[in-house]
């Protein structure tokens, strides 16, 4: 829903945006809430900033059976439907650990397949160009990167749909469309047809990337979230790297069309797993279903969900589209962090779209073995993900115990700033080693530094935005995703022409200098982020 219900946060969790409608709801509902410290299961749903509703924990409320509501305390509306106390098994936060991790495991596999499709057939681009008689460098990069444009379009539709109908149905519908559009790519008979269906496949494939983080927030409290985020992030981070490794051998053996058939097969399998074993986790949807059940059982049509904003679907849809753009334009935190991540992400995809040509041209790699050159990037991503996933929750828990936890704590992780420095260093080394024809292992090691620097920036900034924008975290992430995907789609188009004009050394040095100029962004928000975040001048009204 568009407005949160009864939000009472600690000082470090306080959102910097005011929602007038939410404030109105808080006053009218008059429900009691607890802080994170007092009740770990009471947390803000970061997908739309909705607090998982936990009413005051009196003995009467702890024993509610669902059909009978307790006598309301003074000022509390008796028609409000809430969880049956903080231990309600219907609350996703209270699910058994095996149920949570099964869902995360399946979701991570779905999230692996859709980003995998972005670069899986990159080694086959020369074959595609030969098949359709195309020689343009721009089209060579576009046919790979255009898929990422779908990742910019998809969230604008998927996010509001998930607000209105819940997460699970959006996953299932988008997964089905993803498989259909991928099959269409496999049977394409022109470059235009292939590019068009690549965009549509990317749009549908954006679902797990758009609302996956919200699913994690639904079922894990904040201090347990980073580990699950690390597992879920395997897909978007490793998929584009593993794709070319396997794609090189597949293209050589079976041709480029089989790349899409394999993606469709795996996408269909994991989509079926999610269809049969997935469960709805979105609190507003679950409480809405509970409200309808109680209305039917009691005949009281005045019952309403605590998380129901009362807004019509059209209004929810419009707000969900407009809010990320307003945050991107008017919030300096969202804007600068989005620019930082977007340029890093664009450089990453520029590497994905050009490495095939660089290693085939400079080092005479064959089509089947050229995909192995992406392994260096993968090693860097895995190292960074392992470190961040292991250290983040531990670091935050220690900060919470000492009472010093705040969103900027995410930017204080030991590898965050060194990672930002490693990114331009890796780019410089890669550029000049390939330019001078130094042994191929040197540029591959350099790409590991690029992957490590990219990972630490993406992971820490994502979690920082979630913690800093509790009420509108999804909108902050959506703004970040849209801009990042636009850069990922179009920046690579300049790659081959830039290298032709400047050479591999100076062409990559240009990228390195840009990455170097961005280092002050995380440094600034590490030390001054709290001041900016809490400054009324930078609060955005909706």
pLDDT of the residue at 168: 94
CA distance 217 to 229: 9
Which tokens hold the place of 500?
């032709």
Q: How many other C-beta atoms are found inside a 10 Å radius of the C-beta of residue 441? A: 10
Give the pLDDT confidence of 160-217 residue by residue, as tens digits: 888 788 899 999 999 999 999 999 999 999 999 999 999 999 999 999 988 887 888 8
DSSP helix/strand/coil, 73: coil
Separation of alpha carbons 400 and 417, rounded Å: 22
pLDDT for the residue numbered 470: 65
Cα–Cα distance, 304 to 300 (Å, whole number): 10
Q: Are 324 and 478 in contact (CB under 8 A)?
A: yes
* 3-state helix/strand/coil string of 140-152: HHHHHHHHHHHHH
47 φ/ψ angles, rounded to the nearest 5 degrees? -70, -40
CB 460 within 8 A of CB 333: no
DSSP string, 103-125: HHHHHHHHHHHHHHHHHTTGGGH
Give the domain 94-280+315-538 fold.
Answer: Growth Hormone; Chain: A; (1.20.1250)
Q: What is the pLDDT of residue 37?
A: 36
Assess whether pLDDT exceeds 60 at residue 310: yes
Q: CA 509, CA 428: separation in Å to the nearest integer?
A: 5
- Position 449 scores a pLDDT of 93
Residue 73 pLDDT class (50, 70, 90 cuts): very low
Residue 227 vs residues 50, 231, 374: alpha-carbon distances, Å: 22, 7, 25
pLDDT tier for residue 264 given thresholds of 50, 70 and 90 = very high
Q: Is the pLDDT of residue 246 over 70?
A: yes
Least confident range of 45-54, 128-137, 334-343, 461-470: 45-54
What integer pLDDT is reported at residue 232 of this predicted model? 81
Q: Which residue has the higher pLDDT, 10 or 201?
A: 201
Q: With 70 as the cut, is the pLDDT of residue 238 above it?
A: yes
Average pLDDT of the residues in 455-478: 76
What value does the mean pLDDT take over residues 326-335?
87
**Measured CA distances, 202 to 119, 144, 261 (Å):** 12, 11, 16
Average pLDDT of the chain, as a whole number: 78
Taking the domains of the chain in order of start, what are their residue ranges?
Answer: 94-280+315-538
- Asked whether residue 446 carries a pLDDT value surpassing 90, the answer given is yes
Q: Is the pLDDT confidence value at 430 over 90?
A: yes
Residues 390-420 have pLDDT tens digits of 777 677 777 777 776 677 676 766 667 788 8
- Give the model's confidence band at 445: pLDDT under 50 very low, under 70 low, under 90 confident, else very high: very high
Least confident of 155-164, 181-190, 464-473: 464-473
Q: Each residue of 62-93: b (16+ CB within 10 Å) or e?
A: eebeeeebbeeeeebeeebbbbbbbebeebbb
Cβ-proximal residues to 89 (8 Å cutoff; 6+ apart), any chain: 95
Which residue, among 112, 81, 188, 205, has the nearest Cα to 150 in the 3D structure?
Answer: 205
pLDDT score of 274: 95
The answer to whether 456 and 344 are in contact (CB under 8 A) is: no
CA–CA dist 134, 137 (Å, integer): 9
SS3 360: helix
Give 173 or 75, the one with higher predicted confidence.
173
Q: Give the DSSP H or E segment for 80.
A: strand 80-81
> What pLDDT does residue 43 have?
37
Nearby residues of 322 by Cβ (< 8 Å), 6 or more positions away: none
Q: Which of 12-21, 80-89, 120-129 has the lowest mean pLDDT?
A: 12-21
pLDDT (0 to 100) of residue 509: 95
Distant-in-sequence, close-in-space partners of 275: CB < 8 Å, separation ≥ 6? 172, 175
Q: For position 424, what pLDDT does the model report?
A: 94
Confidence of residue 503 (pLDDT cuts 50, 70, 90): very high
State how far the Cα of 344 lies from the Cα of 339, in Å rounded to an integer.
9
Position 199 scores a pLDDT of 93
pLDDT tier for residue 374 given thresholds of 50, 70 and 90? confident
CA-CA distances (angstroms) from residue 490 to 118, 153, 201, 344?
13, 14, 17, 13
Higher-confidence residue: 431 or 250? Answer: 431
Residue 136 CB partners (closer than 8 Å, separation 6+): none
Beta bridge partner(s), residue 80: 304
Picking from 479, 406, 307, the residue whose alpha carbon sits closest to that of residue 14 is 406
pLDDT at site 516: 93
Q: What is the pLDDT of residues 57-68, one digit of tens each?
A: 333 332 223 333
Residue scoring higher pLDDT (485 or 409):
485
Q: Is the pLDDT of residue 99 over 60?
A: yes
């Amino acid at each position: 829903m568009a407005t949160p219900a009864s939000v009472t946060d600690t000082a470090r969790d306080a959102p910097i945006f005011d929602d007038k409608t939410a404030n109105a709801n808080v006053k009218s509902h008059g429900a009691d809430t607890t802080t994170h410290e007092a009740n770990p299961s009471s947390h803000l749903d970061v997908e739309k900033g909705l607090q998982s509703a936990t009413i005051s924990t009196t003995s009467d409320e702890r024993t509610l059976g669902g059909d009978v509501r307790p006598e309301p305390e003074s000022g509390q509306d008796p028609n409000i439907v809430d969880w049956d106390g903080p231990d309600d098994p219907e609350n996703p936060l209270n699910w058994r650990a095996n149920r949570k991790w099964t869902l995360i495991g399946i979701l991570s596999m779905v999230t692996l397949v859709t980003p995998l499709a972005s670069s899986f057939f990159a080694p086959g681009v020369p074959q595609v160009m030969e098949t359709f008689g195309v020689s343009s460098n721009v089209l060579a990069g576009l046919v790979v990167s255009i898929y990422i444009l779908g990742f910019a379009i998809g969230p604008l539709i998927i996010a509001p749909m998930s607000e209105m109908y819940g997460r699970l149905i959006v996953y299932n519908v988008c997964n089905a469309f993803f498989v259909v559009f991928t099959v269409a790519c496999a049977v394409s008979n022109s470059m235009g047809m292939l590019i068009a269906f690549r965009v549509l496949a990317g749009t549908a494939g954006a679902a797990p990337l758009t609302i996956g983080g919200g699913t994690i927030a639904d079922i894990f409290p904040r201090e347990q979230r980073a580990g699950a985020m690390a597992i879920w992030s395997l897909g978007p981070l490793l998929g584009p790297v593993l794709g070319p490794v396997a794609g090189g051998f597949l293209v050589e053996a079976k041709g480029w069309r089989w790349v899409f058939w394999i993606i469709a097969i795996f996408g269909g399998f994991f989509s079926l797993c999610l269809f049969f074993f997935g469960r709805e986790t979105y609190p507003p949807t679950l409480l809405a279903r509970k409200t309808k059940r109680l209305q039917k059982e009691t005949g009281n049509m005045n019952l309403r969900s605590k998380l129901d904003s009362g807004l019509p679907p059209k209004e929810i849809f419009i707000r969900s589209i407009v809010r990320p753009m307003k945050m991107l334009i008017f919030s300096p935190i969202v804007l600068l962090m989005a620019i930082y991540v977007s340029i890093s992400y664009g450089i990453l995809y520029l590497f994905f779209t050009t490495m095939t040509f660089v290693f085939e041209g400079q080092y005479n790699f064959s089509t089947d073995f050229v995909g192995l050159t992406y392994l260096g990037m993968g090693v860097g991503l895995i190292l960074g993900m392992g470190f961040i996933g292991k250290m983040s929750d531990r670091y935050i828990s220690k900060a919470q115990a000492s009472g010093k936890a705040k969103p900027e704590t995410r930017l204080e992780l030991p590898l965050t700033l060194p990672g930002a420095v490693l990114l331009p260093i890796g780019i410089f080394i890669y550029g000049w080693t390939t330019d001078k024809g130094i042994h191929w292992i040197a540029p591959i090691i350099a790409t590991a530094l690029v992957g490590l620097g990219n990972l630490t920036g993406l992971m820490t900034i994502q979690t920082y935005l979630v913690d800093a924008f509790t009420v509108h975290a999804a909108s902050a992430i959506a703004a970040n995703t849209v801009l990042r995907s636009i850069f990922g789609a179009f920046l690579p188009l300049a790659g081959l022409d830039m290298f032709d004009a400047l050479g591999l050394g100076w062409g990559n040095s240009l990228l390195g200098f840009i990455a170097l100029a961005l280092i002050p962004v995380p440094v600034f928000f590490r030390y001054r982020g709290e001041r900016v975040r809490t400054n009324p001048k930078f609060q955005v009204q909706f």
